[in-house]
Amino acid sequence: MSPPASPGEAPIDFWFDFASPYGYFMSSRIDAIAARHGRRVRWRPVILFAVLRALGLPPPMGHEAKRTYMQHDFERSARFLGVPFRRPEAFPAATHHAARAFYLLERSDPRTAMAFARTAMRAYFTEGADLGDPMQIAQWAREANPQLGEAADFAARLRADETRALLASAVEEAVRAQVFGSPMIVIDGERFFGVDRLPQIEAHLEGNL
């Protein structure tokens, strides 16, 4: 039950990785910006490492010079944007279970999936919660949808072939869309890479860019 889009308007795609600080920062902003312009957002978590490997690109923090910069910048950008942030000790983290949970939830209700994603990222990026633990993920999923049933059953479904296929399909779509980083916002085919592009995204939606 996704919110209705304006006639003829496709949703805005929000590509991200659950363990990407810049993706987390974007997640705190993009829905409100879209809503102000009568648009809805389609959240698309991926395993960025897998997308980059398919595109033939190195991981974003693979080089010391960039890693040093980013580790300082995460906290600076969080302050600048006013987003609560504490760099997790386990960073980066494996995000395939979280992304699979998202797509599993999304099949029934995109809003539940988005609520789950917000809870998971907030817990990871402010309390250092274990983003890779299927049982922890199942608990967050149940917070988003109390009718979900037993956490252990949901955790088991994260390993099912059918669930894996949902995420694999999203990763393939990201490779086709050349999602070379997190976050990437796509509005009517126009791509914006990075949370720094919020002002350009606003200008584009206002018809001024």
Residues that bind its own copies (CB under 8 A): 55-58, 63, 65-66, 68-69, 72, 76-77, 79-80, 178, 180, 191, 193-194, 196-197, 199-200, 203, 209
Cβ-proximal residues to 56 (8 Å cutoff; 6+ apart), any chain: none
Distance from C-alpha of 51 to C-alpha of 59, rounded to nearest angstrom: 10
Q: Closer to its own copies at the Cβ: 68 or 108?
A: 68
d(CA 63, CA 4): 43
Rounded Cα–Cα distance for residues 102 and 45 (Å): 8
**DSSP classification of residue 58:** -
- Taking the least distance from each CB to its own copies, the nearer of 63 and 159 is 63
> Cβ(175)–Cβ(55) under 8 Å?
yes
Shortest spacing between CB 56 and its own copies, in angstroms: 7
Residues 93, 101: Cα–Cα separation, whole Å: 15
Q: What is the closest distance, in whole angstroms, from the C-beta atom of residue 23 to its own copies in the complex?
A: 16
Output the smallest distance, CB 196 to its own copies, in A. Answer: 4
- Sequence-ordered strand ranges (E) for 158-201: 184-187, 190-193
| CB of 209 vs its own copies, minimal distance in Å | 6
Quote the least distance from Cβ 15 to its own copies, whole Å. 13
